[in-house]
C-alpha cells in the first residue's frame, strides 16, 4: 500500500510544482472568495507590477450602487429577501455603519448621489395590480430624508440607467426615447434625436457639455451602439455621432471626457477608448469581459473578465493602465452582481457578490454581500 502511494505521490508532486511554477496560480483559487491572485505568491511569470492587499472584508448585505463625492458614504440596495419591502441604505465608510434611507413597497432599480451629495436620485418600479404591467419613475430624496420629489412625469416610464449632470441635475431617458435633463427644483428640458433611438442608458460629459448614450439603432437591428451628442443652447435636438457598434458597457473619464467601453467583436469582446478630440478608437485589450470603469482620477481602468476555466457566471476583477499596459488580475473568480465602485480618492474598490447557495434553506436570508477591497500597486 505504501509503495502504491509513493508511486503516485512523486509524479503528482512534480505536476503540481510545474503548474505553480508555470504561472497557473488559479489552480487552487476558490470561486467567490475575493482574494488577490498574486498575493503571497512567487513566480518567474509574475507581472512587472505587483498588488498588495491592505484589507478585504464584507461590509454589509445588499448591492452597492454608488459612492459619494467625498468617499464617505455608499448607496446600498437591499430587499431583505422580501418581495414587498425594498430598501435604500447608506453605509458610512468611516464609522463602518449602515443606516436606512428609504423603505418602500416599490422595487428600487437603481440609485445615485446627486452632484453635491445633497440627496439621492433613484428609480422605482411599480406593477399595476390589475394588468400586471410594470412602470418606473425617477425620484429624489434629500440626504436628511425631509423632502422627496417625483422628478419624472406620471406618463413617463423611466429607463433605470441614468446619469448625473452639473448643479444637481439628473439626465435620464424614458419610454418615448426622449432625453431629459432635470433638477430637484422642478426644472426640466426635453431633448430628442432625429430618429427613433431606443435608449438604454445615458451619461453626461461635463467638459464638452455633451451626452453619451447606449441605444438600439433606428434601423431596428438587434445590437446596442454607443453614441455621442453635444447639447446646444439653441436646439432641443441631439444629433448622435456613432462611437462604436455592439457595445455592452461604457464609462466616462470625468477628468478628460474620454470614454472606455466594451464592444462585441465576434466571439469575444474588446476594451477600447474614444476621445472627442481623437475620433479613431484605441483598443486596449481583447478577451471575454463583463464591465469596465475608470478609477475616479482616470489613472487606471478597472474591468471584469470571465475566465474560460470556471463557470460562465463568474468574473475576476482586473486593473490596467489607461493605455492598456500592465494588466493585473486582482481577484479570484466571483459571482459579481454589481458594477465595480471606485473610491474617489483612495485605492479602494467596492463590489457586490451573489452568495446564494445551490440549495436554499429557510435559514438562508442573505443572498448578496458587498465587499470593501483596499489595495496598493507597485
**CATH number of the domain to which 223 belongs:** 2.120.10.80
Pairing mode, strands 119-127 and 107-113:
antiparallel
Please state the φ and ψ torsions of residue 276, each to the nearest 5 degrees: -60, -35
**CATH number of the domain to which 297 belongs:** 2.120.10.30
State the pTM of this model.
Answer: 0.86
Domain annotation covers residue 87: yes
3-state secondary structure of 138: strand
- 3-state SS string over 87-98? EEEEEECCCCEE
Place of cell 435636438: 237
Domain annotation covers residue 38: yes
Domain annotation covers residue 73: no
Is the separation of the CB atoms in 314 and 306 below 8 Å?
Answer: yes
Taking the CA atoms of the chain, what radius of gyration do you get in angstroms? 23
Whole-angstrom distance, CA of residue 251 vs CA of residue 230:
17
Is the separation of the CB atoms in 109 and 102 below 8 Å?
Answer: no
In this structure, the answer to whether residues 50 and 173 fall within a common structural domain is: no
Domain annotation covers residue 305: yes
The CA distances from residue 130 to 126, 133, 134, 211, 249, in Å, are: 12, 8, 11, 38, 35
- C-alpha atoms less than 13 angstroms from C-alpha of 31 in its C-beta half-sphere: 15
Is the separation of the CB atoms in 317 and 306 below 8 Å?
Answer: no
Is the separation of the CB atoms in 101 and 141 below 8 Å?
Answer: yes
- Count CB neighbours of 310 within 10 A: 16
Is the separation of the CB atoms in 327 and 318 below 8 Å?
Answer: yes
In this structure, the answer to whether residues 113 and 177 fall within a common structural domain is: yes
In this structure, the answer to whether residues 232 and 125 fall within a common structural domain is: yes
Domain annotation covers residue 351: yes
Question: What is the span of the domain harbouring residue 136?
Answer: 83-245
Cell of 155: 406618463
Alpha helices in 1-41, H assignment, sequence order: 2-21
The number of domains in the chain is: 2
Reading the chain (378 residues) residue by residue, the pLDDT tens digits are 434 334 433 344 333 333 333 333 343 456 776 665 544 333 334 455 677 778 888 999 999 999 999 999 999 998 755 666 789 999 999 999 999 999 988 899 999 999 999 999 999 998 887 888 889 999 999 999 999 999 999 999 999 999 999 988 999 999 999 999 999 999 999 999 988 899 999 999 998 999 999 999 887 677 899 999 999 999 999 999 999 999 999 999 988 889 999 999 877 899 999 998 876 789 999 999 999 999 988 899 999 999 775 457 899 999 999 999 999 988 888 999 999 999 999 999 999 999 876 555 545 455 899 999 998 887
Cell of 109: 432599480
Amino acid at each position: 500500500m505504501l509503495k502504491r502511494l509513493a508511486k503516485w505521490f512523486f509524479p503528482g508532486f512534480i505536476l503540481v510544482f510545474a503548474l505553480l511554477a508555470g504561472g497557473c496560480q488559479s489552480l487552487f483559487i476558490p470561486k467567490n472568495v475575493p482574494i488577490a491572485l498574486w498575493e503571497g505568491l512567487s513566480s518567474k511569470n509574475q507581472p512587472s507590477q505587483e498588488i498588495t492587499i491592505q484589507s478585504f472584508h464584507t461590509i454589509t448585505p445588499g448591492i452597492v450602487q454608488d459612492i459619494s463625492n467625498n468617499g464617505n458614504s455608499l448607496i446600498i440596495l437591499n430587499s431583505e429577501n422580501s418581495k414587498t419591502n425594498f430598501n435604500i441604505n447608506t453605509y458610512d465608510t468611516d464609522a463602518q455603519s449602515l443606516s436606512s434611507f428609504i423603505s418602500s413597497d416599490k422595487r428600487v432599480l437603481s440609485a445615485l448621489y446627486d452632484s453635491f451629495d445633497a440627496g439621492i436620485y433613484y428609480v422605482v418600479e411599480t406593477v399595476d395590480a390589475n394588468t400586471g404591467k410594470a412602470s418606473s419613475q425617477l425620484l429624489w430624496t434629500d440626504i436628511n430624508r425631509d423632502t422627496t420629489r417625483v422628478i419624472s412625469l406620471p406618463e413617463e416610464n423611466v429607463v433605470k440607467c441614468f446619469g448625473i449632470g452639473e448643479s444637481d441635475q439628473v439626465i435620464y431617458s424614458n419610454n418615448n426615447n426622449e432625453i431629459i435633463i432635470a433638477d430637484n427644483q422642478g426644472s426640466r428640458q426635453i431633448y430628442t434625436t432625429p430618429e427613433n433611438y431606443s435608449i438604454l442608458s445615458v451619461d453626461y460629459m461635463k467638459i464638452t457639455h455633451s451626452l453619451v448614450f447606449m441605444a438600439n439603432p433606428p434601423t431596428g437591428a438587434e445590437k446596442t451602439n454607443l453614441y455621442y451628442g453635444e447639447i446646444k443652447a439653441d436646439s432641443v435636438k441631439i444629433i448622435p455621432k456613432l462611437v462604436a457598434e455592439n457595445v455592452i458597457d461604457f464609462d466616462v473619464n470625468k477628468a478628460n471626457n474620454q470614454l472606455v467601453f466594451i464592444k462585441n467583436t465576434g466571439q469575444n469582446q474588446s476594451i477600447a477608448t474614444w476621445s472627442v478630440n481623437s475620433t479613431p478608437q484605441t483598443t486596449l485589450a481583447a478577451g471575454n469581459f463583463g464591465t469596465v470603469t475608470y478609477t475616479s482620477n482616470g489613472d487606471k481602468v478597472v474591468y471584469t473578465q470571465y475566465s474560460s476555466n470556471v463557470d460562465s457566471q463568474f468574473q475576476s476583477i482586473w486593473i490596467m493602465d489607461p493605455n492598456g499596459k500592465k494588466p493585473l488580475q486582482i481577484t479570484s473568480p466571483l459571482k459579481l452582481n454589481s458594477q465595480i465602485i471606485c473610491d474617489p480618492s483612495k485605492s479602494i474598490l467596492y463590489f457586490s457578490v451573489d452568495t446564494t447557495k445551490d440549495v436554499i434553506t429557510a435559514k438562508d436570508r442573505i443572498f448578496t454581500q458587498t465587499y470593501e477591497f483596499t489595495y496598493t500597486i507597485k
